[in-house]
Structure 1
Amino acid sequence: MSQTRFLFLVFCSTYFHLTHSLNLEGGLLLQQVKHSLTDPSQSLSSWNDQDDTPCNWAGIKCDPSTRRVNSVDLSNFQLEGPFSTLLCRLPSLSNLSLSNNFINSSLSVDISRCRNLKLLNLSQNLIVGRIPDTLSRIPNLRILDLSGNNFSGEIPASFGEFRRLKTLNLVNNFLNGSIPISLGNISRLKELRLACNSFSPSQIPSQLGNLTSLEVLYLSGCNLKGSIPDSLSRLTRLQNLELSYNKLTGSIPNSLIELKSILQIQLYQNSLSGELPSGLSNLTKLLRFDISKNELIGTIPEELCGLQLESLKLSENRFEGSLPTNITRSTNLYELKLFNNKITGSLPSELGKNSPLQILDVSYNGFSGDIPSHLCENGALTDLILSYNSFSGEIPESLGKCQSLYRVRLTHNNISGTIPWTWVKLVELDTLDLNDNELSGDIPVGIQGWKKLTELNLANNRFSGEIPDEIGSLLVLNYLDLSGNNFSGEIPPEMQNLKLNFLNLSNNRLSGDLPPLYANRNYRNCFVGNPGLCGNFPDLCPRVGGSKKQGNFWILLAIFVTAGIGLIVGIVLFCWKYRAVKKNKKEIAREIAMSPWKEFHNLPFNVLEIMDCLDENNVIGSGGSGEVYKVVLSKGETVAVKKLYRGGGEISDKYGFKAEVETLGKIRHKNIVRLWCCYDTVDCKLLVYEYMPNGSLGDLLHGGKGGLLDWPKRYQIALDAALGLSYLHHDCVPPIFHRDVKSNNILIDGEFRARVGDFGVAKVVAVAGPGGVSMSAIAGTPGYIAPEYAYTLRVNEKSDIYSFGVVILELVTGRRPNDPDFGEKDLVKWVSTTIDQKGIDHVIEDTLESKYKEEIRKILKIGLRCTAALPINRPPMEEVVKLLQGVSADKSPTEFTGMGRAPLNYYQGEASDQAGKFSPDYQ
């Protein structure tokens, strides 16, 4: 009698009375497996002893002929507890998946008893310890997925004994050692995914070239060094080669041109050198080629540009020569990034004519000649970055056809002529940077259509005429630089409607009086070099040849000023002595008021007023870090002031003062809350922000004011917050991770537009690999914290994306992330479970109008993508923005998909493509 048969007889005798109506396998699942797990979401509620068979239970499938259990799929059930090896007693079990739960034990060697398994998926759990080397004893195993756990130690050398394994996925663990050469013996392997592990510095084993069935080789962020082995040329079925974020050196081997099936090659962020190999034209199926951030030299081969590429990224290398004209033959090209090289010559005149070109970035090169007129032939262009070249000629009027044009940077070129009148139709325009060129003429009539414009930089050109009144209607504009031109006339009073983070109108021919908002010393440096412009500043508007009476006036004024200064000094000394006897709030406030403040913007108010208003009547919020005050100043300006608590005369930085100042003090964006100034001494720490009259999104959603937020407002808030986070992740150099994205940190202005705020735990990442930055402690708020961050302490942009996805779910459901009604679930689990069991309509807040239902469903799906358990499956924030915008436009952005390949934007190659973008370091 076999051991299995004996065990089943024992089991039958033991449980006969308990499961009189349930068959043998059902009794095992019910009495052993279910009872070993915690089931807070009641996902296993259908498992009961009233059924004859478990075949209709949740997660269970049976063979239709034998009625034996052949599949147990408990993925996303929120189960907690150890892995139960009793599952291996199901003799016909071939598929076992416990993905995305909270399995928290080590993996017992007994799992090798699952002799008939073909699929084993334990990904996205909390499993610790070493990977059992006995797994290779499962003779029929085809798929083994242990990714997203806490496995440590080395990959077992015994894995080379697998004979039928097709997929091995160990991504995102704590594996060390080196990649065993024995993996080259798994002859049927199609996917090898080992990315994001802390392997010791080692070379790519040449034996991997023996895997002639391989389609995916995913070794990004594996601490690999040395050269790419020639043996990889034998992988003739390979579709996806990902070796980014390593320390590879040497040249790209010529042997790679033998990869006839390759669709994608990702080699960015290494130290590869030499020229590109010849024979690239053999890669006839290649769609995406990214070799950015290496040390490659030579010219761009003609044959590379003859391929039907969708994306070509050669940025931050040392390429020279001209761009081949046959780049225009690629009818699929939507992304071309060549910035920061030494490429010269002109852009091909037909560029964009035959392709859906969306992103063109050739900044920081030596290009010359005209800007091609066909760039918008297909109307798809969104990003045109040509800065720091030698382009000449005029701006093509045809660019006015680019209705999707979002970002234009042509700075530091030799472009002449005027801004085409057709550009006033670019309603999606966010950034227009034309500074340091030879442009002339007026600002075109009709710019009021640029409702989404946040940055306008026309500095150091030859523009003339008056500043148009319409500029005051650009209500989201926060960066305006018209300096170094020939603008004349008065400053339009409508400009007082703007809430600018940066303003510079210096060195023009402006005249007249300053608008009242700007008629104070806080703006004095914004208007210098305009001799006819009058304000209340003698050195700004010098008077020449004054009369004797005027001279006497200035003498008297000097006497009064001197006396005033003496009086102030006396008062200060008196207050200082009095404070030594008895400090009270008013004296401390006066001392602070006389001390220096650190200003980050041109202040439209007097900081000396602020301390007088910090009393209990003005408190609008408080917490563990201190109080927040609403302060209404004498000129009508309202600000919010955060005052941090003191502790024994000292204030530690555990409340994030330093992080907040270092982060918000540098960045400027319409969807990031503005930090006006700060004050920092041993006695007191203050942060002065712009005031947001509608408070936080959390207050509105969960504080009884949800009725103020109809669906259009909620959609706009989601898009605004996404734009702010996308700026932090992709446009800041280095990138910034917020680390505490939540509805309470999304602030709402009077027009219900959103800004991301509270950067007390933000992390500025100078160098972040694919695994992110390891932190010493968890930052964030329960319910918003990405699952991998909670147990790995790894911080990257994917953590923020998860938290933002939770905010989207809040906007759709109206529920808190940790609603008591969920039990031990959180919002993400509740939404997923409810959709699975009842359908998507059961999670949408009842108060939202039914006419928006289809749009709400699309937004909800975006939120679910952002909260994917596996970080690799979360879209980068740039893509999230496009997905949200696509919902509004009833269209979806083009996505590159492929069978059996990892998502293409994992590790965010875009994050390195920063040259020429608006950066906090540039300010």
Structure 2
Amino acid sequence: MRKVVGICLILLYLHIIVVKSLNPTLDDDVLGLIVFKADLQDPENKLSSWNEDDDSPCKWEGVKCNPRSNRVSALVLDGFGLSGKMGRGLMQLKFLSKLSLARNNLTGTIGVNIGQLTNLRVIDLSENSFSGPVPDDFFEQCGSLRSISLANNKFSGRVPDSLVSCSSLGVLNFSSNQFSGILPSGIWSLNGLRSLDVSDNLLEGEIPKEIGGLYNLREIKLRKNQFTGPVPDEIGACALLRSVDLSENSFSGSLPTTLQKLSLCDNLNFRSNLFTGEITEWIGELGRLQTVDLSKNMFSGAVPDAIGNIQSLRILNISDNGFTGSLPASMINCENIQILDASRNSLTGFIPTWVFQLGLQAVLFSENKLTGSINGAVDLSIDVSHQNLQVLDVSHNELSGEIPSDIGRFTSLRVLNMSKNSLTGGIPETVGKLKALNSLDLSENQLNGSIPSSIGTCSSLTSLILSRNNLSGQLPVSMSKLVALEHVDLSFNKLTGTLPKSLENLVHLVTFNVSHNQLQGELPAGAFFNTISPSSVSNNPTLCGAAANKSCPTVLPKPIVLNPNSTGTDPDSVPQTLGHKKILLSISALIAIGAAAVIIIGIIFITVLNLRVRSTMSRSAAAVPLSGGDFSSSHTTDTHSGKLVMFSGEPDFSTGAHALLNKDCELGRGGFGAVYRTVLGDGRSVAIKKLTVSSLVKSQEDFEREVKKLGKINHPNLVSLEGYYWTPSLQLLIYEYVSGGNLYRHLHESTTQDENIVNNRSSLTWNERFNIILGIAKSLAHLHHLNIIHYNLKSSNVLIDGLGEPKVADFGLARLLPMLDRYVLSSKIQSALGYMAPEFACKTVKITDKCDVYGFGVLVLEIITGKRPVEYMEDDVVILCDMVRGAVEEGRVDECIDERLQGKFPAEEVIPVVKLGLICTSQVPSNRPDMAEVINILGLIKCPESQEEYDNN
């Protein structure tokens, strides 16, 4: 096919040459553009005006000519829907000064060196699908080039060194590609550069001092790369800078005070780095700032008073740092501020009154140490009825007092979160005025009274969380009007009465938790309530229904029992004879006796059936045939013997078949089945997982296809799958045997009687723990590269080999299910409590590899603290993530470290790893890093000097 296309292009080219020889008026521009068009597909027919018979292309769509020379000066085909490749025809356009092919579907590499067009000033190839490296010599003759954009493509490799030849370059945009390595040093000498954007790549290295020579620079965007090191003082020499975006890298150190020289700057974004130190008064010199984002770093100290000098400020985000003290009162001068996010710091004092006086759209103060009353912050003398406030989050503080009744005056409010405080009083009726409210969370306070019926007018509400308060009374029937509701949690209150039957009309419900109340009566009907989790309605003594595991009493007419010995008129009277009462059985008693009989018969039947199944399975296991070789080497027998496939070798499996039902050989049990150890005929140990999801497993064809994919995965930190066994009623997975036991036992069981575990130690050193964390990260990064989500990451699924290296097990097993239904998954991996990402509870949020990142973050904290993800105390439940986050905010990180490590760890490594774990457990999936980024961060955290002193202590 390629030969045919090539021959056609040659014939077309020769045809045009012949036509040109017969018609001397046909210029090179027509020739070049027609050849260029021949390489393209034009599904929208945008290039229909391009006719090879025309004397000039100047009237063609997308073509502009110089009126004096009548030669093509600009080719602008943005958004034409073109596909194909960029052909050599462009090289005929000798006078072309602007080439813009943005927003098309062009593919392939840049095989045409358009950089050699000496008159070219602008190149824009953005938003296509170009791939591969940019040729090293592409920019060798680009002295006239003013602007180049390769943004939003798939270019890879290093940025060419020849870029330094573009001495007149003013705009360079290589963003959203896959460029890697270090930027050419010559870029920092292009003193005509006004805009540098290389964000969203894989670039690394530091910002050199030579940046000070870019005195024409207006904006620099290095976001989402792997840059390291400090920001040099010389950046202050770039006096014309208006925007600085260094976010989502690994920059470190303190911000240079020379930033105060950037008096024209309106945007500073240092989000998600490793910056430390304080923000001092120099920031007040940047009077034109509109956006300041310092979030997700390790800044400390007080927020400077001088920030009140920035009257133009619109967005201030200082979340996820270690700022202390109160927000300065001078901020009342920031009249234009719209968004203020100071969450997850160590701020103290009251909520400033100016917060409700400046007309902000979003106020986020969650997870600080704020005290006092919200009522005191809202000045009732000020008319706030037309406020713009849309988000108010003061959760996880130490606030007290009542919720102000004037909360209803914030009519634009969409999110109200006051959870985890010490608020008292009732929920005001005025909450019903919040018609735009999407999410209301008042959980974990001391609120009392009933849920106001006015809640039914909050028609936009999708999430209602009021758990762990002292609320009483009945659920208002008006709740059934909230047709958009998806998540409801009213657990751990004192609610009484019955659940309104009309709740069955809430067709969008995903979760509905009313456990630990005093509700009674029958659960509502409907699709959702028919499948509700029993834990969501538990601990309501008189609540009945299938989910409550309690039958509702059937209303039957009172039985009539005729007594032939009775002489009275009461048909129910029973005379006493010989000192005994005559006992008559009612219909309900008969039903109870009948039910008990059925249960007893059922138990006997199941017992007999189990004995028969065990006998059958023993015969099936003992009849497993020999087989070996690669994926194609399998042996199929009848349904009694099944099919065994080993991916390498031909082991004698029969000697280990007894282990399938031998409790002494059982290594453990998980959500997908039990694991047994057995020894093959060649003396090699293997681990066999007997799947317990037979009713959910795919067909044999699909099962084998998925298992073979898993068998091809090879990584030093992943447990190898060596084979499988299939019958319709029994499926086995055969894994390599890892001798060192699982991580859970190393962390939480200082001694063990399990003789199968060798090299067991009472505790792990810091270096061993760090290596385990790094190994797990590498294994997950490898899986994610293969588009495999683990789904079931936990310490019991991390095995330790004889050399102390981690090997992650149970990966990819969810692929054996017919569909990745999150209810099925959560029920299969319910033992992973505490590791599961919050999006598992929300059907509207896509399950991605960020779920694994969340579980990894929990695992990091578990490894460092030696504590389980969820620990049940006598009167409380301790969530590890919350406990560690609170300790970090309060400066008590050392108290969280495993006591077996005390005095034997480098704080400069442990603390950043703790913070990395907390970032990985962010409630918002997009805020969690990729595992590749995690590996890079761990590499930066690990000190170059050996920490043997800690291992030897």
* CA gap 1:80/1:534 in 2 versus in 1, 3 angstroms: closer
Aligned to 1:505: 514
Aligned to 1:113: 116
> Sequence identity of aligned pairs in percent?
28
Aligned to 1:466: 474
Is the CA contact (8 Å cut-off) linking 1:208 and 1:231 kept in structure 2?
A: yes
For residues 53 and 395 of structure 1, what CA distance do their matches in structure 2 show? 75
For residues 840 and 489 of structure 2, what CA distance do their matches in structure 1 show? 28
Is the CA contact (8 Å cut-off) linking 2:132 and 2:157 kept in structure 1?
A: no
Aligned to 1:427: 435
- Give how far 1:281 is off: 1.0
Paired amino acid for 2:500: P
Unaligned runs of 5+ in 1: 1-9, 585-595, 600-609, 617-623, 626-643, 664-679, 692-731, 739-753, 769-910
Max Rg structure: 2
Q: Larger RCO: Structure 1 or Structure 2 (Cα < 8 Å, ≥ 6 residues apart)? A: 1
Moved more, 476-485 or 285-294: 476-485
* CA gap 1:646/1:49 in 2 versus in 1, 3 angstroms: farther
Whether 2:155 is the aligned partner of 1:146: answer no
SS in 2 for 1:350: helix
The structure 1 residue matched to 2:233, chosen from 215, 227, 230, is: 230
Paired amino acid for 2:349: G
Aligned to 2:71: 68
The structure 2 residue matched to 1:255, chosen from 253, 258, 278, is: 258
For residues 248 and 846 of structure 2, what CA distance do their matches in structure 1 show? 31
Whether 2:453 is the aligned partner of 1:445: answer yes
Is the CA contact (8 Å cut-off) linking 2:34 and 2:52 kept in structure 1?
A: no
Aligned to 1:564: 602
Aligned to 1:783: none
- Give how far 1:179 is off: 1.9
Whether 2:136 is the aligned partner of 1:98: answer no
For residues 522 and 35 of structure 1, what CA distance do their matches in structure 2 show? 61
For residues 24 and 109 of structure 1, what CA distance do their matches in structure 2 show? 21
Aligned to 1:373: 378
For residues 324 and 227 of structure 2, what CA distance do their matches in structure 1 show? 28
Moved more, 285-294 or 147-156: 147-156
Aligned to 1:278: 281
| TM-align CA RMSD | 5.0
Aligned to 1:494: 502
SS in 1 for 2:273: coil
For residues 437 and 425 of structure 1, what CA distance do their matches in structure 2 show? 22
For residues 920 and 314 of structure 1, what CA distance do their matches in structure 2 show? 15
For residues 377 and 661 of structure 1, what CA distance do their matches in structure 2 show? 47
Paired amino acid for 2:167: R
- Give how far 1:662 is off: 6.6
Whether 2:56 is the aligned partner of 1:48: answer no
- Give how far 1:611 is off: 11
Paired amino acid for 1:388: H
Aligned to 1:314: 318
Whether 2:853 is the aligned partner of 1:766: answer yes
Moved more, 50-59 or 257-266: 50-59
Whether 2:185 is the aligned partner of 1:174: answer no
Paired amino acid for 2:344: N
Whether 2:489 is the aligned partner of 1:402: answer no
Q: How does 1:697-776 map to 2 (within 5 A)?
A: 764=851, 766=853
Whether 2:201 is the aligned partner of 1:163: answer no
* CA gap 1:539/1:29 in 2 versus in 1, 3 angstroms: closer
* CA gap 1:734/1:135 in 2 versus in 1, 3 angstroms: farther
Q: How does 1:232-381 map to 2 (within 5 A)?
A: 232-307=235-310, 308-355=312-359, 357-371=360-374, 372-373=377-378, 378-381=386-389
For residues 169 and 435 of structure 2, what CA distance do their matches in structure 1 show? 53
- Give how far 1:59 is off: 1.4
Paired amino acid for 1:505: V
- Cα offsets for 1:319-363 (capped at 9, x unmatched): 1111112223222222111111111111111213223x2222211
* CA gap 1:392/1:69 in 2 versus in 1, 3 angstroms: same
Aligned to 1:726: none
Is the CA contact (8 Å cut-off) linking 1:203 and 1:224 kept in structure 2?
A: yes
Q: How does 1:541-580 map to 2 (within 5 A)?
A: 561-574=599-612
Is the CA contact (8 Å cut-off) linking 1:315 and 1:338 kept in structure 2?
A: yes
Q: How does 1:765-914 map to 2 (within 5 A)?
A: 766=853
Is the CA contact (8 Å cut-off) linking 2:87 and 2:112 kept in structure 1?
A: no
- Give how far 1:386 is off: 1.2
Is the CA contact (8 Å cut-off) linking 2:65 and 2:73 kept in structure 1?
A: yes
* CA gap 1:185/1:569 in 2 versus in 1, 3 angstroms: same
Paired amino acid for 2:378: S
SS in 1 for 2:344: coil
SS in 1 for 2:447: strand
* CA gap 1:226/1:682 in 2 versus in 1, 3 angstroms: closer
The structure 1 residue matched to 2:485, chosen from 477, 502, 506, is: 477
Is the CA contact (8 Å cut-off) linking 1:646 and 1:683 kept in structure 2?
A: no
* CA gap 1:648/1:237 in 2 versus in 1, 3 angstroms: farther
For residues 13 and 755 of structure 1, what CA distance do their matches in structure 2 show? 60
Aligned to 1:848: none
Is the CA contact (8 Å cut-off) linking 1:83 and 1:103 kept in structure 2?
A: yes
Paired amino acid for 1:173: N
Paired amino acid for 2:122: L
- Give how far 1:470 is off: 1.5
The TM-score with structure 2 as length reference comes to 0.59
- Cα offsets for 1:429-448 (capped at 9, x unmatched): 22211111122222112322
* CA gap 1:289/1:519 in 2 versus in 1, 3 angstroms: closer
- Give how far 1:242 is off: 0.8
SS in 1 for 2:176: coil
For residues 735 and 488 of structure 1, what CA distance do their matches in structure 2 show? 29
- Give how far 1:515 is off: 5.2
SS in 1 for 2:182: coil
Aligned to 2:62: 59
- Give how far 1:203 is off: 1.0
SS in 1 for 2:58: helix
For residues 817 and 100 of structure 2, what CA distance do their matches in structure 1 show? 55
- Give how far 1:523 is off: 6.0
SS in 2 for 1:233: helix
- Give how far 1:304 is off: 1.7
Moved more, 334-343 or 19-28: 19-28
For residues 690 and 474 of structure 1, what CA distance do their matches in structure 2 show? 24
* CA gap 1:647/1:15 in 2 versus in 1, 3 angstroms: farther
Is the CA contact (8 Å cut-off) linking 1:99 and 1:125 kept in structure 2?
A: no
For residues 69 and 539 of structure 1, what CA distance do their matches in structure 2 show? 80
For residues 259 and 360 of structure 1, what CA distance do their matches in structure 2 show? 28
Aligned to 2:632: none
* CA gap 1:431/1:733 in 2 versus in 1, 3 angstroms: farther
For residues 139 and 70 of structure 2, what CA distance do their matches in structure 1 show? 27
Is the CA contact (8 Å cut-off) linking 1:221 and 1:244 kept in structure 2?
A: yes
The TM-score with structure 1 as length reference comes to 0.61
Paired amino acid for 2:232: P
For residues 91 and 516 of structure 1, what CA distance do their matches in structure 2 show? 76
- Cα offsets for 1:759-789 (capped at 9, x unmatched): 6x87646289xxxxxxxxxxxxxxxxxxxxx
* CA gap 1:393/1:306 in 2 versus in 1, 3 angstroms: farther
For residues 173 and 607 of structure 2, what CA distance do their matches in structure 1 show? 72
- Cα offsets for 1:693-736 (capped at 9, x unmatched): xxxxxxxxxxxxxxxxxxxxxxxxxxxxxxxxxxxxxxx99698
Aligned to 2:223: 220
- Give how far 1:409 is off: 1.5
Whether 2:104 is the aligned partner of 1:122: answer no
Moved more, 526-535 or 389-398: 526-535
